[in-house]
Every structure is written in C-alpha cells, then in structure tokens.
Structure 1
Amino acid sequence: MVDQQSTSDHRIIVGIDNSAGSAEALSWALAYARLTGGTVEAVTAWQVPPMYAYSYGWTPTGIDDAGIIRCAEKTLAETVAQAQGGDDHPVPITTRVMEGPAAQILLAAGKGAQLMVLGSRGHGAFSGMLLGSVSQHCVQHATCPTVVIPK
C-alpha cells in the first residue's frame, strides 16, 4: 500500500469584511475547527476603488494606505475578539490583512487549506441577492471545499 499524504492542511480560511455574515462565518469556522482540530485564518482584503482618486475631476493624490491597513486590522481584531468571546478552549487564529480584490485574495489564501468559510453576502450594492459576488466567485473557483453561511 502506498502512503498517501493529504494535500491539504488543517487551516480553515474565513473571509472577514466587517459584515454580520462574515462574523457568522467566523463563529461557524471556530466551532468547526474546535471539532476537527483545525486552525482558523481570518483574512480581510482591501483595495482603493479605481475611480476614488479621480472623482470630481481631481487628479490622483496620495492615498493613506497605512491608515486603511490600520483600520482593517482593528476591525478584524474586533471581529475575532467578539467571535472568540470568553471561550475556555480557544482555537488558534491567525489574521491577515491583504491588499487586492477580495475574491483573488481569498482564493490564494485557500490553496491547500482544509476549508474556506464565507458569509453569503457582504457589503455589496445588491442587497437582494442571496449570494454576493465574492462568495459566488469563491464557490466556483476555490481549490478547497467552501462553506457559505447564510445570514
């Protein structure tokens, strides 16, 4: 018999965007990790909208990337702290804030992961949709199993 090693690790990737859906996804991922012995990697993606610097006829100016990153890190830390609550047996969680389109960042983070967990919708403009564009893209293109938590 050939010894076959699993190509995935025990990381559970969770997309966090400061929405109620992503907080639910993180809570679900923590419970799942507790049952399976996994670890959770909470990922937040950010990017400056392409037309932001050109609005109202202004020429591009310096964007405060450091301020955006600090805000994203603070929001991510608050979401993680709230989801962990007073857990007596905390699950190991790592956090990452990365610049780029959310779907691409999550797909890259999910390579080799055991699971990806997402909220059904974030802060997109189409509130009536059952599945947001990032979740839809990840479900279709992820290289690991993907769970979408409805909110």
Structure 2
Amino acid sequence: MTGRIVVGVDGSERSIRALKWAAAQAALTGDALQAVIGWEYPASWATLMPGVPPEFDPERLARQILDESLERALAPDVTASVTRTVVGGNPSQALIDQSRGASLLVVGDRGHSGFAAAVLGSVSTNVSQHAPCPVVVVRGE
C-alpha cells in the first residue's frame, strides 16, 4: 500500500523546486503525488485592484498556475499522474487540510508573497507548525 505526498505550488521558483523534490521522493517511495494550490482574495481587494474586470476568475488563474508549474517542473508522464487540487481559501490552511492522511507535505521555503529577507515564508512556517504529517521545507540551492 502506498501513501500520498502533498506538495504546495504557487508558481514561484521555490515551489517549482519543491515540486521537483516531491516528485523525486514519490518516485522513490511509490507514493502518489498531489499538487495543491490555495488562493484567496486579499483583505483589501476592492481598494488594491479597483479596475479588475468582472470576468476575472482567481480560481481559474490558480488552476492555470498549477498546470503551468507542473508542465515546467515535471516530465509529461509524471505530470499525467499528479492529482491537482485547487482550493479557495488560505493557502496554509488548504495545505494543512489536504495533508490529512498524507505521508508527507512538501513546500518551498518562500513563495510569491512575504518579505524577501525572511528565512521561512509564512506558509512554510505555518504548515511546519500545524500539519498533521511530517513536513519537508525545500530550501534554496
């Protein structure tokens, strides 16, 4: 019986590195790979982006980022076997929820948001403290 490795993806170079690491680990262990992206509207959505067209669909954009990240990071045969999960909500909480019952949760050390000087990003910090399974934080080169 195999397990499941969950990997957080946000399209950043660090998450691409985490995705590659998670895929290599899944190949070693025989675990299934689940790529997860979480999205949410910023608290000040209306004031930060007043000209956003009504047809803008953040869930569709998140799915596109996830698909493009998988295509960039993995061989087509590996990409085809990855379960893709798009969750509307806080990215940290989405990863924590999706990692229930998983063998491992993998994230990059920093993503698109946060302060560049931070050692760990907010998502990697949150999941390393609250995930219900072991967490691997893939750091820079």
User: Is the TM-score greater than 0.5?
Assistant: yes
Cα 1:101–1:64, aligned 2, differ >3 Å: closer, same or farther?
Answer: farther
**Which consecutive segments of 4 or more residues in structure 1 shift more than 6 A?**
none
* Identity between Structure 1 and Structure 2 (%): 39
Cα 1:91–1:126, aligned 2, differ >3 Å: closer, same or farther?
Answer: same
Deviation at 1:124, TM superposition (A): 2.0
Q: Which residue does 1:100 correspond to in 2?
A: 89
Q: Which residue does 2:115 correspond to in 1?
A: 126
Q: In 2, Cα distance between the equivalents of 1:148 and 1:92?
A: 23
Q: In 1, Cα distance between the equivalents of 2:80 and 2:27?
A: 6
Q: In 2, Cα distance between the equivalents of 1:26 and 1:55?
A: 31
Contact 1:9 1:112 in 2 (8 A): no
Alignment: residue pair count? 140
Contact 2:7 2:33 in 1 (8 A): yes
Deviation at 1:67, TM superposition (A): 1.8
1:96-136 deviation line (CA, Å, top 9, x unaligned): 11110111100000111000000000112310111001100
Superposition RMSD in Å: 2.6
Cα 1:68–1:34, aligned 2, differ >3 Å: closer, same or farther?
Answer: same
Q: Which runs of 5+ in 1 are unaligned?
A: 1-7
- Find 1:85's aligned residue among 58, 75, 81: 75
Deviation at 1:64, TM superposition (A): 5.0
1:21-74 deviation line (CA, Å, top 9, x unaligned): 100000000000001001110000001111112459xxx9x9858621111111
- Find 2:57's aligned residue among 53, 67, 80: 67
TM-score when normalising by structure 2? 0.88
Q: In 2, Cα distance between the equivalents of 1:9 and 1:113?
A: 10
